[in-house]
Structure 1
Amino acid sequence: MAGRILLAGCGDLGQRIGRLLAADGNEVFALRRRPPIDHDDTIRWLQADLTRPETLSHLPDGIDHLIYLPAPGGREESLYRAVFVEGLRYVVHALDASALQRVLFVSSSAVYGEHDGAWVDEDTPPAPQGFNGNVLLEAEQWLSSQPVRSIVMRLAGLYGPGRMQLVDRIRAGEVRAPRQPPHWANRIHIDDAAAAIVHVLALSDPHRVYIGTDDTPLPQHTLYDSIAAMIGAPAAPEGAAPFGVGSKRLSNARLRESGFRVRWPDARDGYAALLR
């Protein structure tokens, strides 16, 4: 695919994507308000603010692929809207439309809402429960209305190196989980998420939407109990389902049909490897 690729909002996930893209021979640029001090030379860092269009006036020429994956500065609707809706528009409009071939927007399974444990795929109509899902869906819909070809990757919950907060909370006895009825949870290892995004970006004729998740949805209490056993902590007591996070089993069938396979098909094995 070798091209000039911009990662807008490049945190941990973005840096993993960038390294994979650079290894494939792409020229990779990454944009952040504060680029990291310690970084390798495979990614060329740009300093700008997605919410301030005047800082985007000197983006590199010839960017042919944009991956948009910012992180809001907090759990407030105004912050989400500023980076996901307004920021996306600013960046797309700042790039050379004649060169830009494809935009990949990293979204979330939060757009689906509650499904009482039923299977959900890309054809399931979105019905967000919270402002985060609503804002992400608005950004998706705006992008689909633009003349550039676009792809949306709706990711399940990420875990991996540096993302062990769940383990810490289970160890501290700070989590609860509903058991009857179970609340279904979906996860994907951050390295699998990065690889899936790179894979989809290179497809010659991609679908517009993909779900990024592993092969094994789990009842939340099953995942929590497994982690507790790994670290010698008590099982999570009975508790309410997390607010605003619907119970559903995400299907990655479309991603698998494209030829992609996750390295960690079951989050229990992924967490076990991280804890060894």
Structure 2
Amino acid sequence: MRLTIVGCGYVGMALARELRRHHSQAQLTLTTTSEERRGELEPLAERVLICNASKTDELYKALIDADVAVVCLGPKGDRQVDAEGYRQTFLDSLNCLQQLLPKLPKLKQISYTSSCSVYGNADGGWVDETTPAQPRDEHSAVLLDAEQLLQDAAAIPKKRVCILRLAALHGPGRDLDQRFQGLAGQTRAGDGQGFTNWIHVADAAGALLRSIEEGWSGVVNVVNDEPIRLADLVDGVLRRQGLAAIQWSGATKQGGCNRRISNHRLKALGYELRQPTILGQRGVLEVSQVP
């Protein structure tokens, strides 16, 4: 198997490690936009390329020999970018990929990481892959447009496309204790009763690996078994650290996306979650060392 991961950030790195463990004979190419990351990536792959995926010649070089492409795009850096930055990252890159596909006859499988943010608000109800997407902001609208570009690519003969919609990520490097400890003792708007949806990075990478191994197609939600109310999650994190709980003002918070996202299709495809819940049996957060 010759496989290229386009965009080797948080999820791409986790997948590269999975591939090295389970498919050590695979010929792996990793791309990054940062020369500084070359040394970090080189032990994981036969090739590491500096690649701007919106540039045709660079993307073609990364994919020319690939049987499988995993596209894990993300804005460069840690800061939140505006919608135009999202368009440059996602739409420009996937437009480039779409234009190149006729020149990539070896490429049979494309797995792409999207986001559950495309669903919008469901007032606490359940949504699944058949639920019409209703983006509530420009960023998620861009992500849905990017998905459509890949859906169009799926119409090309002998090309399989799987779109994996990821929930909010947690795991090593995105520790929930650190994320929420600054909220201790604060008063926050709302009542915290809206549902949030999460996935451990090990399961994001695991689902991607299975999509490659088994040739998944269509849309698959990659979420754990436990949609959890925001107040329960944050209070569990703070309680474990011995920190003061949040006080909720009770005032209505505008603009939230309150939904419970189903993972039934993920399970029907045979994937078994490594981290099925974010809270342990005693109501405190579990600590995972899964890389």
Fold-level match, TM-score > 0.5? Answer: yes
Inter-CA distance 185–242: structure 2 relative to 1 (3 Å threshold): farther
The answer to whether the 8 A contact 1:59-1:94 is kept is: no
Q: Which residue pairs with 1:161 in the alignment? A: 172
Structure-1 separation of matches of 2:66 and 2:144: 25
Structure-1 separation of matches of 2:163 and 2:182: 36
Inter-CA distance 243–6: structure 2 relative to 1 (3 Å threshold): farther
Structure-1 separation of matches of 2:207 and 2:179: 28
Cα RMSD for the two superposed structures: 2.3
Q: State the Cα deviation string for residues 141-168 of structure 1 (Å, max 9, x = none).
A: 111112132110000000011102x422
Structure-2 separation of matches of 1:145 and 1:57: 19
1:199 equivalent among 210, 234, 239? 210
* TM-score calculated relative to the size of structure 1: 0.89
Is 1:31 paired with 2:31?
yes
Structure-2 separation of matches of 1:93 and 1:47: 20
Q: State the Cα deviation string for residues 247-274 of structure 1 (Å, max 9, x = none).
A: 1001111001111111111112494214
Is 1:261 paired with 2:272?
yes
Is 1:273 paired with 2:287?
yes
Inter-CA distance 258–51: structure 2 relative to 1 (3 Å threshold): same
Q: Which residue pairs with 1:172 in the alignment? A: 182
Structure-1 separation of matches of 2:252 and 2:213: 38
Letter in 1 for 2:26: N
Is 1:61 paired with 2:59?
no
Q: Which residue pairs with 1:48 in the alignment? A: 51
Deviates more, 1:118-127 or 1:24-33: 24-33
Is 1:7 paired with 2:5?
yes
Instruction: For residue 273 of structure 1, give the secondary structure of its aligned residue in structure 2.
Output: coil
Deviates more, 1:44-53 or 1:92-101: 92-101
The answer to whether the 8 A contact 1:178-1:221 is kept is: no
Once the two structures are superposed, the pairs formed by residues 30-179 of structure 1 within 5 Å of their partners are 30-35=30-35, 36=37, 37-39=39-41, 41-43=43-45, 44-59=47-62, 61-73=64-76, 74-94=80-100, 96-146=103-153, 147=156, 148-164=159-175, 166-173=176-183, 176=188, 178-179=190-191
Shift of 1:53: 3.0
Structure-2 separation of matches of 1:72 and 1:60: 21
Q: Which residue pairs with 1:231 in the alignment? A: 241
The answer to whether the 8 A contact 2:117-2:140 is kept is: yes
Q: State the Cα deviation string for residues 67-100 of structure 1 (Å, max 9, x = none).
A: 1111113421111111111112223434642111
Shift of 1:31: 0.9
Inter-CA distance 155–54: structure 2 relative to 1 (3 Å threshold): same
Shift of 1:60: 5.1
Structure-2 separation of matches of 1:128 and 1:178: 22
Letter in 2 for 1:116: D
Instruction: For residue 228 of structure 1, give the secondary structure of its aligned residue in structure 2.
Output: helix
Is 1:186 paired with 2:197?
yes
- 5+ residue gaps, structure 1: none
Deviates more, 1:263-272 or 1:110-119: 263-272
Letter in 1 for 2:11: L
Structure-2 separation of matches of 1:211 and 1:190: 14
- 5+ residue gaps, structure 2: none
